[in-house]
Chain A
Amino acid sequence: MNKTTITAFAAGLVFGLGLLLSGMANPEKVLAFLDLAGNWDPSLALVMAGAIAVGLPVFTWAKGRQKSLLDEPLKIPTSNDIDRPLVVGSLLFGAGWGLAGFCPGPAVVATGAGELKAVVFTLAMLVGMTAFQALQRQPQPA
């Protein structure tokens, strides 16, 4: 097994640990954060704050580099277009997030915890992704 596979596995473990510890993997807590008009639990704002506090210096440092520390090409998105797919896609995603309280990472972690409802959500999500990607590969009508 090469080094990049091991570091990716370690990153997945630490990412999942963060989701479990923070409460992000618990849809009840996510929905309590999204319920501004109810009994609001502001905790999850701090998850994003904590993540960005660590991420900001590292991503800033990486900006000028071409290669990762393991000599892999550094693939950082370059697009700056604020277009319709970005906005419409994110709105659809947010609606689904607000319905169930799951976004992709927590759904995978809760699937790993053996939660049947998380398995169902994750399968539906993968079907949605596959369907969208299949449609995108179709040749565009002239």
Chain B
Amino acid sequence: MTIDWNAFTPWSALAGGALIGLASALLLLANGRIAGISGILGGLLARQAGETSWRLAFTVGLLAIPSLWLLFAQLPPIHIEAGYPVLVAAGLLVGIGTRYGSGCTSGHGVCGLSRLSPRSLVATLCFMGAGFATVFAVRHLLGA
């Protein structure tokens, strides 16, 4: 392992993380709900009565933030290396996996770990482990 110090952005990472924690805290304190993005999207698709408007409003917020950011500054880079077939396969895996596993980086990784849930700790170790293993396989075994 070599650490890429040139790419290391500790302050924006910490500040961005703090904002993510703040947003999760706001949704919990005001709405009494967990800010788990896969759960919010899955709930929207399932159209549960009485749970749609807050989920839709949260999702619209996520969709709207880049346009709002553009009013003040250029957007930070969004580089997507993967080709379309890989994106479709990855999207299907993420969609199925997050619903089967009841959460993703936000619901398990942020909210779950914040409430010290052993279930979320196991989930986070599993998806981080699988993420590390997949990148290792793609970049260093297959050499893509």
A interface with B by C-beta (< 8 Å): 2-29, 31-32, 34-56, 58-60, 62-63, 67-70, 72-77, 79-82, 85-105, 107-115, 117-118, 120-133, 136
Contact = CB atoms under 8 A, between A and B. Distances in A.
Contacts of B16: 17-24, 47, 50
Contacts of A23: 9, 12-13, 16, 76
Given A8-B31, A54-B21, A46 B89 contact: no
A82 B126 CA distance: 12
Interface of A is mostly: helix
**Contact-residue bracket for chain B:** 35 or more
A5 B29 contact: no
Interface string B1-43: 1111001111011111111111111111111111101100110
Interface of B: 1-4, 7-10, 12-35, 37-38, 41-42, 45-46, 53-55, 57-69, 75-82, 84, 86-106, 108-119, 122-124, 126-136, 138-140
Contacts of B94: 93, 96-97, 100, 102-104, 107, 121, 125, 128
